[in-house]
Structures are given as structure tokens and as C-alpha cells.
Amino acid sequence: MTNLKSAYLNPVIDCDLGVVRWMVFLTIFTALAIALPYICHQFGIAGMVLLPMHFAVILAAIVMGLKGGIVVALVSPVLSYSLSGMPPAASLLPMTIELAVYAIVVNLSARRFKMPLVLSLIIAMIVGRLVSILFVSLILHNTPLGIQLHHLFVVGIPGIVIQLILLPPVASKALSFLNS
């Protein structure tokens, strides 16, 4: 009862602005991961081509660290599916796992092992796709391997190239803004 009374009598709470800034960026990256695929679909571009959700998740992992990247990776596909029906239900779990692997691998390789960001991105993209293929092939058994390889490595080439070109400078700008 005292806590409840205290809430009404003393509603001012000391808040770490770093935490608030982190939560704001987390919300922005999650919204970006939901909005970018929606925008692509409005122009008739399949998400598999430009990989817009991947862009936002990897950017979150670079800028916000491992926790932020994983949160955006786990929350974004589910929220996007709830709001727009995309990604398709059959792709939801493999894609969520793939995105989480991207967040983990890009963060570990760039931050812990101090690899150049472009190399970290390439490694994360390969490992994430391989984990997705293994998950779908060994656990779900619902898509032939050839189709998976085509979708993950061929159809997404434009998105991969865009990520390799844009993510390093965008992440640099976002990091400098976040740290200012």
C-alpha cells in the first residue's frame, strides 16, 4: 500500500537518460523493421529481394549491441506478421531465428573479435542463412533445399548488396548520434 501511495504522492521518478535513449532507439529500429517491408510491398517489391527487415535488425545489432539486436530480431517478425500478415506464417519461425543469428554473429564478430564491419556483415549473412537452411531442412522439412538456396542466396542478392553498401555508413552515423 505504501508503494501505491508513494506513486501518487511522489510521481517523479529518477530515470537514466541512457536507458530512455536505448528504449527510444529500440522502438525506432523495431518500427523500421516493420515499416520497411511494408513500404517495399506497397511498391510491389518482395521482401525476399531487398531484405528490409534484415537491414533494420542488423543495424540495431551494430548500433545497440547484442541485446538490442536480439530484441529487434525476435519482436519485429511477430509484430509485422500481426499487423500485415508478412512474413508468411510458414516463414515466421525460420526468419526469426535467422534474424537473431544475424544479430548475434554481426555483434560478436565486429565488437568482440574486432573484425571490419563489412567482413562481419558477410559472415553474419552466411551463417544466418545456413542456420535458416538447417532449421528448415532438419526440423520443419517443408521446403526443398534447392528452393531454400535459391531464395536465400540468389533472390536476395539486391538486398545483400544494399546492406553491404549502406549499413556501414548508416551505422556510423547512428552510433555517433546515439553517443552524442
Per-residue pLDDT of the chain (180 residues; tens, 9 = 90+): 555 555 455 444 444 557 888 899 999 999 999 999 999 999 999 888 999 999 999 999 999 999 999 999 999 999 999 999 999 998 899 999 999 999 999 999 999 999 999 999 999 999 999 999 998 888 877 788 888 888 888 999 999 999 999 999 999 998 888 777
The contacts of residue 90 (CB under 8 Å, 6+ apart) are 142
Find cell 525506432 and name the residue.
28
pLDDT at 178: 77
Phi-psi bin for 13: left (phi > 0), alpha (psi -120 to 50), beta? beta
pLDDT at 78: 96
Residue 153 sits at the vertex; the CA angle it makes with 151 and 154, to the nearest 5 degrees, is 70
- Architecture per CATH, domain 15-179, reads as Orthogonal Bundle (1.10)
